[in-house]
Structure 1
């Protein structure tokens, strides 16, 4: 009996190496099988990873396969894929870059282009040819017709002086009286053609039509038909919009960055693609009431009246600039929790993510202080699509 137990123990000891070897090989086979197993992820939520086709528990999209074992830190796209993704590149080089401080502003009518139409004589407004605001009038266009006994008397006086000169052509005194009477009519804004027509007809009329002395937009009508107006009484106001004021607010602490004559960039709301350059013409030395703000002002040309007073604008005030930096469009830089990176085309159709350090930045461009060299070919449009494609295929951030 003891001999049989000894043989069993001896047999078990002999089998121990084989059992240990099989136990070691099993995890290796399991790891190899796991490595070969297909993995799936969500295009919108790459943190979702499954080992079988399914739907995303967050958004419900179908999961797509990706190769988690592909460790190559680049993407290779075909020519058609590049065109479809609208991927464009630029060769970077050193250049100038300015940082801007954004000021809120607005357009306003330029008082130098504003004219008040007033009555040269006392009388009653018989007819207004323009009764609405916002109407454009041209120089020489009739604006109103007035009944004036004063003008009627001046016309009679002038016709009498003309008759005296006609009967006594050699009398210098009568000629002086005629010239003085004519000058009175001119001072009351009667045109030469109107005076000549009065002489030809020989008939006076208490009704006189006045025309616009300048072109502009009717901003305000201050009287009505049938209303009596005194001499010098305001009838309407014209504004010219071919040149507008730009008014912007600044805090007292920002005044150190601004001086009269300084050039700034003006971006009108709705016309962001057409910024205007403007010279600062005036800085208000006093704070506005209850706002604790200063106001700066300049003028911009408004060809074709495409902008209107009251529109919002942004005034970009340069506060810092560098002349020898590498800069990229803002959209070329992808920012994530791990930092910032750009995509560099290392070969035709082959794109590689490169971590960069950013510096000064404005609304359009960003300085690259480290990570790029002059001559690198950097993706400027479609960078985010490359970033998404990399996460989709690799299942991880590129940097």
Structure 2
């Protein structure tokens, strides 16, 4: 009867029995899931023997951009990190070139951005001011009258010596000559006050012609030093007039800029004023991290604070101080038509981080900040030993944006090599290794 009952219900128990038989017999006795997944290979390739070390192949080292650093004892300067901006030097960087007299612009020599040297022509102006024309005409008339008077004085002096003419007449002529010379000096000064140079006035006197056009030349830099990186070239940063435009005396023609030396303006906290004053007084060298591109900041060392303001901003409570920055010339080219263009590495407006040393520590273990990884209260470094990296727990005594100072407690010794860049990737790989692979059915839909 049992056999008969089993035969009648065979459609329900035969498939399940076959399935259970497959579980025990497939792949030489290896266990597989009911859905056919091989659970024996779920963790294949993982080394669960030690979760504090990791072996890296050469390809893996390249993939994570691994760089190693050697542990060594050295002196370390604790710094305060101050945000800053590169600024122009007031009264030094920009030079405004104004129209020396009223006229019409007939020619503009430079292009915007062009580099010009002192004495290089910038603009031509055709003079139209009536007062200047009248002053030139009066000056020429006085020059001609003085020539006549001088010849007359010479003639009378000759005949007076022979007794033909009384000496009184000679005295009158000489007095008239003195009056003309005084009038000429006053008119010469009037022309200079109108904007003419001494050379231009002499040219009017020599050529006996009115000056109809004046050329405006590039002035010399405000400060002249032998070590100027661009040889005292000025750059035309603005041109404010066009040919044919009428300008009055004093109107702005262009702005020339000298970026050879700039300022870094730091904005520190009020409580840092004592440290900043001490650094300025002692001439402490500070470091600037200047943002340049995606390649990372550019480090400029050996800078010094030359001025700390004597007041704190009311709203921001920031204390400003200034550092002088010598610029670097990165471009100097001349076009086929003779225009010269230069380019500077550092530009006003670039953001900067200033590192101001405030305390010096001797014989410390110092590593790059990327060499240490934090997880909760623990800090780790990864020491190289052959082709493996071992995780070491360390005590961090100080940390800033660039460096960490570790306690010299025997965890690391001078000469050890640890991962600098790529340490965080090693840390993640060790965590994955310690936790095992993800669940074999994660993400599957059956």
C-alpha change, 1:82 and 1:309, in structure 2 (3 Å) is closer
Q: Of 313, 318, 334, which aligns to 1:288?
A: 313
Q: Does 1:344 align with 2:324?
A: no
Within 5 A, what are the aligned runs for 1:58-77?
65-68=45-48, 70-71=49-50, 73-77=52-56
Query: Secondary structure of the residue that 1:258 maps to in structure 2?
Result: helix
Aligned counterpart, 1:379 = 419
Aligned counterpart, 1:33 = none
Distance between the aligned counterparts of 1:247 and 1:366, measured in 2?
Answer: 27
Distance between the aligned counterparts of 1:248 and 1:92, measured in 2?
Answer: 33
Structure 1, unaligned stretches of length 5 or more?
1-35, 39-49, 55-62
Distance between the aligned counterparts of 1:80 and 1:394, measured in 2?
Answer: 22
Within 5 A, what are the aligned runs for 1:291-306?
291-304=316-329, 305-306=344-345
Q: Of 78, 99, 102, which aligns to 2:81?
A: 102
> Is the 1:97–1:325 contact (alpha carbons within 8 Å) kept by the matching residues of 2?
yes
Distance between the aligned counterparts of 1:253 and 1:363, measured in 2?
Answer: 20
What's the CA shift for 1:367? 0.8
Structure 2, unaligned stretches of length 5 or more?
1-29, 33-37, 155-173, 221-232, 330-343, 437-446
Distance between the aligned counterparts of 1:289 and 1:227, measured in 2?
Answer: 45
Within 5 A, what are the aligned runs for 1:1-399?
51=39, 65-68=45-48, 70-71=49-50, 73-78=52-57, 82=61, 85-111=64-90, 112-121=92-101, 123-127=102-106, 129=108, 136-139=115-118, 140-147=120-127, 148-156=129-137, 157=139, 161=143, 190=196, 194=200, 198=204, 201-214=207-220, 216-218=234-236, 226-230=245-249, 232=250, 234-259=252-277, 260=280, 261-270=283-292, 272-304=297-329, 305-337=344-376, 339-346=378-385, 348-369=386-407, 370=409, 371-395=411-435
Query: Secondary structure of the residue that 1:281 maps to in structure 2?
Result: strand
Distance between the aligned counterparts of 1:195 and 1:258, measured in 2?
Answer: 54
Distance between the aligned counterparts of 1:380 and 1:287, measured in 2?
Answer: 40
> Is the 2:382–2:390 contact (alpha carbons within 8 Å) kept by the matching residues of 1?
yes
TM-score (norm 1): 0.68
Deviations 1:28-64 (A, max 9, x none): xxxxxxxx999xxxxxxxxxxx95667xxxxxxxx86
> Is the 2:234–2:257 contact (alpha carbons within 8 Å) kept by the matching residues of 1?
yes
Distance between the aligned counterparts of 1:289 and 1:133, measured in 2?
Answer: 40
> Is the 2:291–2:298 contact (alpha carbons within 8 Å) kept by the matching residues of 1?
no
> What is the Cα-based RMSD across aligned positions, in Å?
4.0
> Is the 2:99–2:247 contact (alpha carbons within 8 Å) kept by the matching residues of 1?
no
C-alpha change, 1:78 and 1:136, in structure 2 (3 Å) is closer
What's the CA shift for 1:95? 0.7
**Number of residue equivalences:** 338
What's the CA shift for 1:110? 0.9
C-alpha change, 1:351 and 1:262, in structure 2 (3 Å) is closer
Deviations 1:80-102 (A, max 9, x none): 65455543333211112223322
